[in-house]
Structure 1
Amino acid sequence: MSEPRWTTVVRPAAGAPRARVVVLPHSGSGPNTLLPTLRRLPGDHEVVGVTLPGRERRFAESCAGVADDPEGVLRAVLAELEAAPPAPTVLFGHSMGAVFAAALAVEAPGLCRGLVLSAYPGHPAAAERTAEWTDEELLDVVRRGGGTPEEALAEEAVREHVLRVMRCDLTLEQRFAARIAAKRLPVAPTVLGGLTDRIVTPEELDGWASRAPAGTRRRIFPGGHFYLLDPAHADAVAAETAGALGTPADQAGPVGVDGGGRR
């Protein structure tokens, strides 16, 4: 069997994994970005990251053509996940990664025991159209997200790489969104967001509940688009993720501004 290309264990479980959390990060990023928060998961949870070309361990790979084949990307990731030893699995996606996670869940409902969707609108039509944006407009999105230091964007080579990968990722995001626009999720998701997110408002998150079985959980945290990287929220985000697999979500971490709740 060939080595996995799209997935890798970014935090092994202590002993035999009792559960697996598959991490799908935001556009332009790799799974290690979210590891400081997901490292707070219980020790018997294995954390697997999905990495697209052009970042982290695949930095040298071109992302050209990836967005043109969303079905191929889904099939490739699912083939690697299905080849792993069986374990109850939650798909955790942030921003662009949320619609990626939802598309994987729709494509392979038997794989998905739980689903955590962070900072992405519940109706794909609400997602901003980015394929024809200018570099200046795309940089504005990067800046509004707040995840890339301004000094890094001042470097021409870094800026061009960020724009290239972002344009690829956001185009892929739109195609995932279109692919699942008329489909229902196989499980009730846990939906998370930031109160002052300048890209996705808390109200835009509500659409997920109408596309899933009863029991969608919604929790809004203080902070913006990258609220989940705030150390003050790390334990609570990890607890919500474990809760998607059946571990009580109220056992750890501070309460979000709305106190959570089922819908």
Structure 2
Amino acid sequence: MPAMSPTMERGNLGQWKVKEGDAFNAGDVLLEVETDKALMDVEATNEGVLAKILVPSGSKDVAVNDVIAFVAEEGDDLSDLSDPAEFRSSSEKEEKKEKKEASKESTTTTSQPPTESKGHAHFTKPAFPSVLRLANQNGIVEPEKDIKGTGPHGMLTKGDVLAYLGKSHGAYGTSKPHHTTISQLGGSPTKGDRGSKEAAKAPPKPLDGHDIQTMILQGLDSMSAPPLTPAKDVSVDDILGVYTAQQAPRAGPAPAPKQAPSMESVLADLLKT
């Protein structure tokens, strides 16, 4: 079975164009192969005779490289041709091999008797020497078989032995489980603690007529109050400019400096008076 593409693994056999026993030349179409994309012709690369067809026309799901026919040259003796059954498709061989192996495995599984587990399944770890000594002192030869352990991983504890002997009400003695909350340790209260505190609070006092009237008046006062007028934006430079302002210089020529009066001008002024 030829591969018509690099990814082809199986295909359908179309129509044989050459009959069994007929001769063909190079380039003649021998058969059609149907892939998942198209129907393609298979041409002969050399001349010869189609001696035997093993896979007939219209066969489906034929594996690549399976023997589908025998090709010979003219004049070859075909009497000693091997049994075509020896050249059946590799897919059929694999399927039969898988079925045979599966039936063999199922036979082996059913033939094996089920194994029984020894001892108690709950006891997976040995007990401490002190626990074994306590059990032996009280006449318990095999405590791991007679007593069920309640320790980690089914480990046998002294409490288990004492409970078995009737000297204790349970594996944990008279101690009772106590759950300490974070609030009791000084941490932040949990949701349960907050809920209990809120539940312990007294229910709110119902409003009477005076309270309702007071609330209405307060609402009316807030509505009738004049809105606040936003202040005008003022720059800091404008405020400080009042204190830091300096007199601007006058335009024009600078005034002449004043001179002290002379004695003559003073005497002239006195005589005039």
| TM superposition score category, shorter chain reference | under 0.3
Structure whose alpha-carbon radius of gyration is higher: 2
Q: RCO greater where, 1 or 2, for CA within 8 Å and sep 6 or more?
A: 1
TM-score (norm 1): 0.15
TM-score (norm 2): 0.15
The structure that is helix-richer by fraction is 1
